[in-house]
Amino acid sequence: MAYWRQWRKPRTKVRNLMRLGVHVQAAVACGITSKGPWRSSKTPGINQALSNDYLKKAGLATLRDGWIKLHYSD
């Protein structure tokens, strides 16, 4: 959601989705949607581009991993 809000304009959203490997039609459909950022984050095009693996490579930690480390760090 944070990336989606950061990109702001539909043209930037489409361009960045295509740069991350999303097909043109899916990128346009995701980029010009009038849905909010939280609801848009569940669409297949955005999930393909901004997958958990991509976000982990970008240096972001997941809440799940933090929770497991906190509760099961024997």
Q: Which two tokens stand for residue 48?
A: 């393909």
pLDDT at 74 over 80: no
> What does the pLDDT average to over 13-31?
94
pLDDT at 23 over 90: yes
Domain spans, the chain: 2-71
Would you list the DSSP string of 4-69? HHHH-SHHHHHHHHHHTT--HHHHHHHHT--S-HHHHTTSHHHHHHT-HHHHHHTTPPPHHHHHHH
The Cα-based distances of 61 to 39, 53, 71, 74 in angstroms read 21, 10, 16, 20
Residues 28-72: tens digit of each pLDDT: 999 999 889 889 888 999 999 998 899 899 998 888 888 998 999
* CA–CA dist 17, 30 (Å, integer): 9
